[in-house]
Amino acid sequence: MKRRSFIKKIGSGSSGLLLTSGGFPTVSSYPPSDYTYGRPSDFKQLLNKEGQVMLRFELRAVEEVAPQELNLSLAKSRKYFHKIRHYFFENKISQWRDEAEIKTFVNKNYPAIVVGWVHNPTETTRLPFSLNGKEEGFSLSELLKEHELTFVQDGVQVTVNYLLDWEIANVTPADLGLKVPQGKFSIAVLADTQGGDPATPSAHPTRMKIHNAFCEDSINRVNELDPQPVFTLVLGDVVDNQGEKEHFEAMHHYLQRIKSPLLYAVGNHETVYASKFSPGYYMEEFNNYFAAQKKVNGVELLLYSFDLGDWHFVVWPDPLRDNFFETHPHYFDWLEQDLEANREKPVMFFQHVPAHPIGIDPLINYAESVQVKRLLLDILSKHGNVKYIFSGHVHIPIKASFKTAVEYKGMKMINLPAAGYRPRAFGEEEWHGGPSQGLLVAEFEGKNADVFFKTVTEEIYRYPNKLPKFDEQAFPLWLTPKWKLPSGVDIRNGSFEEGLTNWAKRYVYQEDKDPSNKMEVKKVARTNSYSALYLYSRKRGYAIPGQDRLPQSINHLCQAVQLTGDPGNLDISYALDPQSDLDGWAGAYVWLEGFREGNKLLNMAYWVGKVFSGLSDRFSDNKEVRFQHFSLPLKGDTWQKASLHIASDFEGSQDGFLALNMDRLVINLGTWHINDGEPQPFGVYFDELEFSGLSTPSNVDGKSITASRDKDVWHLRKFEPFLHIAGEHRYHMATEGRVLL
């Protein structure tokens, strides 16, 4: 089938957009007041470039918090499908009889996704299926009319919608306004320009003025390059705030001065925070982005690739919005095909949000889910042709960019400092003591590439050709959900006599001197043991303006234990480091998470010191499960023994605990720090973790424990609103003697 002769309609009754010979819309006035991504209005518009209709089946529970069994059979319509794919966004790996027979467990928060490509479709094509044994079905004309259809049976539902590929393409250099280079060439990358119009309502005016100024300097450094790059890519977060049209207009004022052709990628500030991508295939959230992109290079794309010289380039969208990849699963299939078709070429991949660990909060929850990262990296590493992965989002200092750069399965993964935004808090000074803002330059000769970062003050830092390999086994939580960690029938190495064996930890960024987070096994003088886990946190050093000093709770490790009913009391010995500041906003925790079929049903923590209510794992937390907090008493540096009866502490009911029928308990041990004000150090020792076999009320040295008091709990907005003042994140002011109004 020929490529469709339309892109989309804009506005009610408006004519279709004019096309260039390459099949892409011509540059229009900026921005069209009636610009809209639109929806298909006739059947031909449902077809992808191969003439197929792409269908997405979303499988969820309707009401129950606990996982529900769901059986989906597409066997009776199998003849219509060119292929069927399953994507693991849910927290349980499904069982397959064949590709058309799926059995899984689903809950309300994490769906299972099935995608089918219908070949030779017509409006009258009817697709029967069964849901938990009940026969259902729909025609493609019905789906075109309604955009989305939902079927419910036995407490589970299947929602069906079409998928489109209007915003996906493999393009030619000419489509993007690029000249094909002869011999050596270079490109420039600007991460996180993130400026805008300071006068726009809800803008952060001082912050934007600062970003705009650095963005201007970064642009000047691009224009000074000789020879000029073949293109300059803004790697997401073109604008600050939530993708307002005024911010795109302001940034166009700056970015249009770049001499080389300009490309855009989608980041997390190009759309409103509460973006929705349903019902159906709803893409209006990107209207301002598409209009801005159309202005700079004439295309309206989220996912695209192209060739230059011997290299293949892929630009991947990372809006970091709830349910985005769940509603766009066909992006992964397209990427897989694109890399397969270009398997003989070296590939450079651009994504806004890093897929390798950075080592600070909030870059655990402020990133893509484990499932998305695993799926993406498996695809990228499949053929060995992806050589570089560049990302932004973090506003990382240059020194930290080099220290966190890794190689994973042959792919060099580098997180870039921002072009406009000031750096986050990594706790140590830059190598040159000056600003971190600037640009990446990649130079190409044949199939070889050399990359360096150039600051706005013209320091040049060249990334090495060999990077340290990321050790997935040393830091398994980056690409493995907690419920999939290896588990035993009891706690293994609870005495830490074998060091950290059997305990999974995260990658935590370490300053070169006096690290702010420590995790180690120390020898201690104890009656029954000579080794103990030592955890320590304090405020990160080198406190300069502009750093997002968000609370740090990343310093923890965990172990999964199998559950069969009530495990009895969890015993644990603990002692404070004498240097701990007991009046500061810092503390230690024993955080317990209970799972069944990968669905989180229990969330509770026992705290030594102050409580951080923001402790979470966004990608496994169940929104309907209450987080319970209990306090463990402090007694200087004296060793104390806690005996915790989890079952009776859970909602005050052992019966409620048993009714959940959980199969996995994850035990987390960690420290946290508010990362603001005075250093407020906090250190703790943990030792002798075991299940005692008893079932007695929770106690510490025989004294009952209690729920945490509100005065001991820190949460966002506890003292004042979470605002941006003069470009700073304000959540806690440590100035002594201040008056709270």
Check the CA dihedral 608-610-613-614 and report its sign: negative
Helix (H) or strand (E) holding 209: helix 205-223
| Phi, psi torsion values for 318, nearest 5 degrees | -135, 70
Lay out the sheet containing 386-391: strands in order across.
168-170, 303-308, 311-315, 347-350, 386-391, 411-415, 406-408
Instruction: Please tell me what DSSP assigns to residue 431.
Output: S
Instruction: Please tell me what DSSP assigns to residue 384.
Output: S
Q: Residues near 527 by Cβ (< 8 Å), separated by ≥ 6? A: none
**pLDDT surpassing 90 at residue 463:** yes
**pLDDT surpassing 60 at residue 482:** yes
CA 264 – CA 255 distance, rounded (Å): 11
Residue 278's CATH number: 3.60.21.10
Residues 522, 494 share a domain: yes
Is the bond preceding residue 31 a cis peptide, omega within 30 degrees? Answer: yes
Q: What angle do CA 625, 69, 128 make, to 5 degrees?
A: 130
CA 128 – CA 119 distance, rounded (Å): 15
Instruction: Please tell me what DSSP assigns to residue 199.
Output: T
Q: Which of 433, 462, 491 is the last residue of a domain?
A: 462
Q: What angle do CA 499, 505, 507 make, to 5 degrees?
A: 120
Other beta carbons less than 10 A from residue 331's beta carbon: 20
CA 594 – CA 602 distance, rounded (Å): 4
Between these two residues, 717 and 613, which has the higher pLDDT value? Answer: 613
CA 79 – CA 273 distance, rounded (Å): 41
Nearest residue to 389 via CA among 443, 417, 347 = 347
Nearest residue to 380 via CA among 357, 352, 408, 401 = 408
Grouping H, G, I as helix, E, B as strand and the rest as coil, residue 548 is coil
Q: Which residue has the tokens 């997002």?
A: 548
**pLDDT surpassing 70 at residue 97:** no
Please report whether residue 654 resides in a domain: yes
Longest dimension (CA), the chain: 83
Residues 427, 310 share a domain: yes
> In this predicted structure, which of 560-564, 581-585, 617-621 has the lowest mean pLDDT?
617-621
CB distance 417 to 398 below 8 Å: yes
Nearest residue to 394 via CA among 431, 447, 355, 448 = 355
**pLDDT surpassing 60 at residue 23:** no
Q: What is the reported pLDDT for 204?
A: 85
CA 400 – CA 427 distance, rounded (Å): 10
**pLDDT surpassing 50 at residue 312:** yes
pLDDT, average across residues 630-658: 93
pLDDT, average across residues 509-525: 94
Q: What is the reported pLDDT for 197?
A: 95
DSSP 123-154: TT-EEEEEETTEEEEEEHHHHHHHSEEEEEET
* 3-state DSSP of 622-665: CCCCCCEEEEECCECECCEEEEEEHHHHHHHCHHHHHHCCCCEE
Check the CA dihedral 266-268-271-274 and report its sign: positive
CA 696 – CA 705 distance, rounded (Å): 12
Q: What is the reported pLDDT for 548?
A: 72
Q: What angle do CA 338, 340, 344 make, to 5 degrees?
A: 110
Q: Which of 163, 178, 202 is the last residue of a domain?
A: 163
Please report whether residue 629 resides in a domain: yes
Which tokens go with 691? Answer: 């299940």
Q: State which residues form the domain around 194.
A: 168-462
- Pairing state between β 556-562 and 504-505: antiparallel
Instruction: Please tell me what DSSP assigns to residue 457.
Output: T
Residues 157, 87 share a domain: yes
**Residue type at 337 in one-letter notation:** Q
Kindly indicate the confidence band of residue 738, based on its pLDDT and cuts at 50, 70 and 90.
very low
Q: What is the reported pLDDT for 619?
A: 84
pLDDT, average across residues 386-394: 98
Please report whether residue 189 resides in a domain: yes
Query: Strand ranges (DSSP E) for 182-238?
Result: 185-190, 232-235
CB distance 268 to 319 below 8 Å: yes
Q: What is the reported pLDDT for 569?
A: 98
Please report whether residue 3 resides in a domain: no
Please report whether residue 4 resides in a domain: no
Residues 292, 145 share a domain: no
Residue 113's CATH number: 2.60.40
Please report whether residue 557 resides in a domain: yes
Between these two residues, 111 and 158, which has the higher pLDDT value? Answer: 158
Residues 523, 656 share a domain: yes
**pLDDT surpassing 60 at residue 14:** no
Q: Which residue has the tokens 């298909």?
A: 40
- Could you tell me which residues are beta bridge partners of residue 408? 411
CB distance 218 to 420 below 8 Å: yes
CA 7 – CA 147 distance, rounded (Å): 18
Q: Which residue has the tokens 């209005």?
A: 41
Which tokens go with 460? Answer: 């040049």
What are the Cα distances from residue 129, in Å, to 117, 132, 151, 393? 15, 10, 11, 42
DSSP 24-38: -BPP-SSS-TT----
**Residue type at 532 in one-letter notation:** A
Which tokens go with 196? Answer: 């805008």
pLDDT digits (tens, 9 = 90+) for 34-56: 578 999 999 999 999 999 999 99
**pLDDT surpassing 70 at residue 369:** yes
Alpha-helical segments (H) within 320-479: 324-327, 330-341, 370-380, 398-404
Q: What is the reported pLDDT for 6?
A: 29
Instruction: Please tell me what DSSP assigns to residue 298.
Output: S
Grouping H, G, I as helix, E, B as strand and the rest as coil, residue 277 is coil
Please report whether residue 619 resides in a domain: yes
Q: What is the reported pLDDT for 526?
A: 64
Instruction: Please tell me what DSSP assigns to residue 595.
Output: E
**pLDDT surpassing 90 at residue 537:** yes
Q: Which residue has the tokens 């994140």?
A: 729
Residue percentage of the chain with pLDDT more than 70:
91
Q: Whats the size of the chain, residue-wise?
A: 741
CB distance 254 to 213 below 8 Å: no
Q: Which of 135, 163, 191 is the last residue of a domain?
A: 163
Residues 544, 453 share a domain: no
This prediction has a pTM of 0.93
* Number of domains composing the chain: 3
Q: What is the reported pLDDT for 529?
A: 66
Residues 301, 287 share a domain: yes
- Pairing state between β 347-350 and 386-391: parallel
**pLDDT surpassing 80 at residue 577:** yes
Helix (H) or strand (E) holding 208: helix 205-223
CA 251 – CA 551 distance, rounded (Å): 31
Residues 192, 159 share a domain: no
Nearest residue to 432 via CA among 447, 421, 417 = 417
Residues 178, 158 share a domain: no
CB distance 93 to 26 below 8 Å: no
Residues 269, 227 share a domain: yes
Q: What is the reported pLDDT for 35?
A: 74
What's the mean per-residue pLDDT of the chain?
90
CA 661 – CA 529 distance, rounded (Å): 34
Residues 284, 351 share a domain: yes
Residue percentage of the chain with pLDDT more than 90:
78
Residues 532, 435 share a domain: no
Please report whether residue 1 resides in a domain: no
Q: How many helices and strands in the chain, by DSSP H and E?
A: 10, 42
Nearest residue to 175 via CA among 24, 383, 5 = 24
CB distance 91 to 620 below 8 Å: yes
Residue 528's CATH number: 2.60.120.260
pLDDT digits (tens, 9 = 90+) for 205-262: 888 999 999 999 999 999 999 999 999 999 999 999 999 999 999 999 999 999 999 9
Burial of 569 (0-12, 13-18, 19+ CB in 10 A): buried
CA 420 – CA 210 distance, rounded (Å): 8
